[in-house]
Amino acid sequence: MIRKIFNKLFKPRFRTERTKLEHHKTEPAKLRSANRPILNTKFGNKKTPLNNQHRGNATVIPYSQHQIDRSLLSNAAHKTIDGLQKAGFEAYIVGGAVRDLLLNRKPKDFDVATDATPEEVNRVFRRSRIIGRRFRLVHVLFGDETIEVSTFRGHHSAEGDAHTDKSGRIIRDNVFGSLEEDAARRDFTVNALYYDPTHQEVLDFHQGFADVQAGLLRMIGNPETRYAEDPVRMLRVVRLSAKLGLKIEPATMAPISKMADLLQDVPASRLFDEMLKLFLSGHAIESVSALRAQHLHHGLLPMLDVVLEQPMGERFVMLALKNTDERIRSGKSANPSFLFATLLWHEVLASWETYKAEVPPIPALHMAMTEVIATQAEKLAIHNRYTATMKEIWAMQPRFEQRAGKRPFSLLTHPRYRAGYDFLLLRSESGEVPAELSEWWTAFANAEGETRSAMLQADTNPKKRRRKSRKKPNDKHGSSTPESNA
């Protein structure tokens, strides 16, 4: 009896569930699309559920062709996709990660695109938070890994609230859309591939798979329109081609030099982020040369003007970039503050020269640093968190000239000694200071006890002055006030 009631109440449901699952195996996209709630767009007028027709315009690349090894996905990426798909949504790995996997490179991170709204994603994962204003995304957290999940974005020229300014630049881009629309608003064909690890399929709306195989970076749609919408794409094409060794397809390349001026209207902070990616890509040298060849540097990117238009500084900066590239390629981290300190060092040197005519060298250096930070750092939108370290690295440089008494010992204990010393090595390699100086410091830091003391040079500083400064209660060795370093 109880069994009968139980069967009556629950069996049919079980059966439908099982039928669903069976369908799920054969027709996943269709079923999940039909099953999913209608997308709750901000404007509430998108009533057609996402269904198979979008798949209809996509080429489905099977495993036999793409051969992506899904075990290369991080656990977090797997869990995010599983969580969303089990909740009835579509979910794909998208963007740089799919491209990199197809190129046999290790993806930097994994981004997920879904038809779930940010709120729906947020409800699926307990440890997640909605971020962003311009377009809301969800960060799903697993230990120290974060997966960025974005809802399919609609076409900006569709109805909704995408707005462009006079030059065609998109200033608002806030509308949800279908998978196909999401693919169309991405920049390059190789960046618009959608990988479903559960079914091991790649969906391709723009022949991106063929372009990966041909080693081509091709803009989706009309390149001129797409650069006008977002001029940063000009920097991205150059950076990605240098980083991935892909050729820029001729029509994608053609408009760049004549449209380069549009970069002037891009907010400094966005340029800064893009430049940081470029400098820390492990391919900074190639990227900078390519930007130069495309005339993308001149007068447009203050950072690159600074880098390339100092006759004396170019060698130093190129060495610094080469050094950073090598560090990154060998898996080490590179500190942005160190990099910016190198980029602006010759500005500091020039300004220091001027101030030295008026005041003693150390106060003059501090005045120069303040001036360069005030003008350049603001122009380049360098965050405050970097400028403090930059100043420390610069202020340490004259202290390397002091090789007598207790000063070298106190410099070794400076918390940024290593960065200061690496900076000195670059200065010496570029010919700015004698190699003998950096060699002395290398030997001094490695020596011990007696050997180290024996390396010290004779103290030529007037004793009277030192005694006077010792009387000051707060003047400890290693303090970075100009007087104590003089």
Q: State which of residues 83, 88, 95, 313 lies at the interface with ligand ATP (CB under 6 A).
A: 95
CA-to-CA separations, 437 to 67, 173, 321, 398, 413, in angstroms, rounded:
54, 55, 22, 11, 19
Catalytic residue selected from 100, 173, 187, 230: 187
- Of the two residues 248 and 362, which places its CB atom closer to ligand ATP in the complex? 248
Look up 459 and say whether it is catalytic: no
Tell me the closest approach of the beta carbon of residue 191 to Mg ion, in angstroms: 9
d(CA 153, CA 186): 9
- Residue with nearest beta carbon to ligand ATP: 96
Look up 196 and say whether it is catalytic: no
What residues from 43 to 102 belong to the interface with Mg ion (CB under 5 A)? 96
d(CA 335, CA 392): 14
Tell me the closest approach of the beta carbon of residue 167 to ligand ATP, in angstroms: 15
Tokens of 479: 């303090």
What residues from 262 to 291 belong to the interface with ligand ATP (CB under 6 A)? 277
Q: State which of residues 173, 180, 230, 392 lies at the interface with ligand ATP (CB under 6 A).
A: 230
d(CA 483, CA 469): 9
Q: Per-residue contact track with ligand ATP, 293 to 332, x per CB under 6 A? A: ----------------------------------------
d(CA 361, CA 486): 8
- Of the two residues 24 and 186, which places its CB atom closer to ligand ATP in the complex? 186
Look up 111 and say whether it is catalytic: yes
- Of the two residues 240 and 419, which places its CB atom closer to ligand ATP in the complex? 240
CB-CB neighbours of 473 under 10 Å: 6
The answer to whether residues 138 and 145 touch, using CB atoms and an 8 Å cutoff, is no
Tell me the closest approach of the beta carbon of residue 188 to Mg ion, in angstroms: 12
The residues, ordered by sequence, that sit 6+ positions from 417 with a Cβ below 8 Å of its Cβ are 396, 411
d(CA 116, CA 332): 37
- Of the two residues 227 and 345, which places its CB atom closer to ligand ATP in the complex? 227
- Of the two residues 186 and 427, which places its CB atom closer to ligand ATP in the complex? 186
Identify the burial level of 23 via C-beta atoms within 10 angstroms of its C-beta, where 0-12 means exposed, 13-18 middle and 19 or more buried: middle
Catalytic residue selected from 100, 111, 182, 230: 111
What residues from 96 to 155 belong to the interface with ligand ATP (CB under 6 A)? 96, 108, 111
- Of the two residues 186 and 218, which places its CB atom closer to ligand ATP in the complex? 186
Kindly report the length of the chain.
486
Tell me the closest approach of the beta carbon of residue 233 to ligand ATP, in angstroms: 5
Q: Which residues of 42-52 are buried (b: 16+ CB within 10 A; e: fewer)?
A: eeeebeeebbe
The answer to whether residues 307 and 288 touch, using CB atoms and an 8 Å cutoff, is yes
The answer to whether residues 193 and 202 touch, using CB atoms and an 8 Å cutoff, is yes
Amino acid making up residue 458: A
Q: State which of residues 149, 232, 246, 419 lies at the interface with ligand ATP (CB under 6 A).
A: 232
What residues from 178 to 197 belong to the interface with ligand ATP (CB under 6 A)? 186-187, 191-192
Tell me the closest approach of the beta carbon of residue 274 to Mg ion, in angstroms: 12
**Cross-strand bridge partners of residue 404:** 457
Tell me the closest approach of the beta carbon of residue 96 to Mg ion, in angstroms: 4
Can you give the three-state secondary structure of 58-73, one letter per residue? CEEECHHHHCCCHHHC
- Of the two residues 232 and 424, which places its CB atom closer to ligand ATP in the complex? 232
H helix or E strand, kind and range, residue 164 = strand 163-164
- The stretches of 104-222 forming alpha helices (DSSP H) are 118-124, 179-184, 208-214
Tell me the closest approach of the beta carbon of residue 162 to ligand ATP, in angstroms: 13
- Does the protein bind Mg ion through residue 313 (CB under 5 A)? no
Binding interface with ligand ATP (CB under 6 A): 95-96, 108, 111, 186-187, 191-192, 230, 232-233, 236, 277
Q: Which positions are annotated as active-site residues? A: 109, 111, 187
Binding interface with Mg ion (CB under 5 A): 96
